[in-house]
């Protein structure tokens, strides 16, 4: 039986593919305030701005490709039972060949009715539609008659797969964290659910704000760090 490798990924793994991490040192996303483009309040205040923002992100996604780090994760499925839990809204893990992926923050290539935001609003995968790299316009309606909105988990909204993510982390034999600052909750707290003694590897060129004796910090960008990680686990 294959050992279970759980991988938590963030913006850093996709940055080398040319996808902007959006957030800058002054807290803006491509010169937009986060609350204007990543909150339900921003959506109700100016839906056209929000649609334009995500339409641009979606079009950009269609022009980039997975990088070596994405492919390295997919290849690990040959020897490991791999689960990818990603904070990213791109589809680069899928395109690289990973087969079990949980998108904590939604997906750029999908949309849903604006009145189906969480489980209390009858949200389910059946209300989500894949539009590829197309754009959404005001007046584009779902079958229930509601305006379509990006299938993105905005600040203040429930993270639909967080319980499943916790279950996978709790059962991991090895936990790998790639390209995330570990500052956006609840995803940032996932590593704490790993069992005592579970090895935790973090690939990030920057310092990480956690102290845990189980952690090995590979201080490299994602593509190089994945090579280092594979060498480490193959030597054990």
Beta bridge partners of 84: 7, 101
Candidate list 70, 93, 103, 105, residue with the active-site label: 105
Q: Please give the pLDDT value at position 21.
A: 64
Domain layout of the chain by residue ranges: 1-19+67-105+159-236, 21-63+110-152
Average pLDDT over residues 46-51: 96
Backbone CA torsion sign across 226, 222, 70, 89: positive
Query: What tokens does 71 get?
Result: 């492919």
Across 47-51, 74-78, 116-120, 175-179, least confident range: 116-120
Whole-model pTM: value is: 0.90
pLDDT digits (tens, 9 = 90+) for 104-137: 999 999 999 998 755 444 455 668 899 999 999 9
Measure the CA–CA gap between 52 and 58, rounded to whole angstroms. Answer: 10
Query: What tokens does 199 get?
Result: 């090895």
Is 70 catalytic? The answer is no
Relative orientation angle of helices 68-75 and 222-234, to the nearest 10 degrees: 30
Burial label, 134 (beta-carbon count in 10 A; 0-12, 13-18, 19+): middle
pLDDT of 187 over the 70 cut:
no
| Mean per-residue pLDDT over the chain, rounded | 88
Give the CATH architecture of domain 21-63+110-152: 2-Layer Sandwich (3.30)
E-state strands within the chain: 4-9, 28-29, 32-33, 81-86, 101-103, 106-113, 129-130, 148-152, 174-178, 200-203, 215-218
Instruction: Output the CATH code of domain 1-19+67-105+159-236.
Output: 3.40.50.1220
pLDDT of 23 over the 60 cut:
no
């Amino acid at each position: 039986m294959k050992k279970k490798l759980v991988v938590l990924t963030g913006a850093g793994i996709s940055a080398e593919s040319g996808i902007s991490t959006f957030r800058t040192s002054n807290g803006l996303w491509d010169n937009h305030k986060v609350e204007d483009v990543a909150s339900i309040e921003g959506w109700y205040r100016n839906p056209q701005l929000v649609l334009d923002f995500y339409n641009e992100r979606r079009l950009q996604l269609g022009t980039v490709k997975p990088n070596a780090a994405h492919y390295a994760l997919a290849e690990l499925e040959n020897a490991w039972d791999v689960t990818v839990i990603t904070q990213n809204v791109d589809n680069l893990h899928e395109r690289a060949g990973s087969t079990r992926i949980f998108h904590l923050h939604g997906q750029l290539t999908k949309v849903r009715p604006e009145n189906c935001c969480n489980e209390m609003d009858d949200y389910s995968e059946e209300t989500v539609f894949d539009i590829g790299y197309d754009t959404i316009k005001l007046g584009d309606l779902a079958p229930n008659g509601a305006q379509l909105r990006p299938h993105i988990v905005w600040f203040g909204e429930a993270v639909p797969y967080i319980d499943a993510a916790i279950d996978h982390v709790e059962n991991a034999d090895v936990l790998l964290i790639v390209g995330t600052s570990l500052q956006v909750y609840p995803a940032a707290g996932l590593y704490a659910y790993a069992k005592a003694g579970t090895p935790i590897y973090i690939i990030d060129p920057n310092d990480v704000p956690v102290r845990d004796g189980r952690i090995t910090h590979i201080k490299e960008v994602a593509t190089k760090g994945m090579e280092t990680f594979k060498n480490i686990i193959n030597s054990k």
